[in-house]
């Protein structure tokens, strides 16, 4: 069986989501650090994004496609339910997290902190302030989503949770995001519980 290669940077929430899936399924893999638009991502992803996966002759981009492939090839310890309704609910939350939540919490909120600081500059306070109403609204949405079962879907841990947890971890590195999550009791308990999972601990970026 060929080895699994994952290419991307460990601090990426999308890279970490796939790594969590690999850890949850107890699959051996090697992470090859590389930036977006570097050689390997450009070879595999039409837009040069990360992560990308190589598994023998198979090359894949986009986290949902990668997670679905891993689930099909390695069905043990499933992260996608068999029940059609539970699967649809899981897919619903994956889509919401990968599109709307990532856009607000990472692109619009975390990045205006991270990239200026990486250049030794002040955070982009205008962008941060503009992102906060949507961030708080989405925290409230997620708080309600996990309140009943402690999971996003299916009453158990799925790939939807793999997608969300790295995003919450990144948001909690900054004060307004940390405060918003701390004020959402169900979401805060969800994060505190699942941040103890071996898959979450094993994939923590070095700075976290």
Taking each helix axis from N to C end, the angle separating 159-171 and 175-182, rounded to the nearest 10 degrees, works out to 130
Please tell me the distance from the alpha carbon of residue 103 to that of residue 137, in angstroms, as a whole number.
13
SS3 7: strand
Same CATH fold assignment for domains 4-73 and 84-202:
no
Whole-angstrom Cα distance, residue 12 to residue 36? Answer: 10
- Which phi and psi angles does 203 have, rounded to 5°? -105, 10
Domain boundaries, the chain: 4-73, 84-202
Calculate the alpha carbon distances from 175 to 100, 118, 119, 182 in Å.
21, 18, 20, 10
pLDDT digits (tens, 9 = 90+) for 12-67: 999 999 999 999 999 999 999 999 999 999 999 999 999 999 999 999 999 999 99
Domain range 84-202, CATH class: mainly alpha
pLDDT, tens digit, 9 for 90 and up, residues 151-178 = 999 999 999 999 999 999 999 999 999 9
Which CATH architecture describes the domain 4-73? 3-Layer(aba) Sandwich (3.40)
């Amino acid at each position: 069986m060929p080895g699994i290669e994952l290419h991307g940077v460990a601090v990426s929430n999308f890279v970490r989501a796939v790594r969590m899936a690999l850890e949850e399924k107890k699959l051996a893999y090697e992470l090859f650090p590389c930036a977006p638009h570097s050689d390997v991502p450009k070879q595999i992803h039409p837009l040069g994004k990360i992560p990308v996966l190589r598994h023998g002759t198979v090359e894949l981009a986009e986290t949902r496609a990668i997670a679905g492939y891993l689930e099909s090839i390695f069905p043990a310890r499933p992260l996608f339910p068999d029940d059609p309704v539970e699967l649809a609910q899981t897919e619903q939350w994956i889509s919401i997290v990968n599109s709307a939540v990532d856009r607000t919490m990472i692109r619009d909120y975390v990045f205006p902190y991270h990239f200026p600081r990486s250049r030794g500059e002040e955070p982009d306070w205008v962008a941060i302030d503009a992102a906060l109403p949507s961030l708080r609204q989405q925290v409230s949405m997620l708080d309600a989503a996990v309140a009943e079962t402690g999971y996003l879907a299916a009453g158990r841990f799925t790939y939807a949770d793999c997608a969300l947890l790295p995003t919450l971890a990144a948001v909690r590195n900054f004060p307004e995001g940390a405060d918003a999550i701390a004020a959402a009791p169900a979401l805060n308990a969800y994060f505190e519980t699942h941040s103890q999972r071996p898959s979450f601990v094993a994939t923590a970026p070095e700075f976290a």
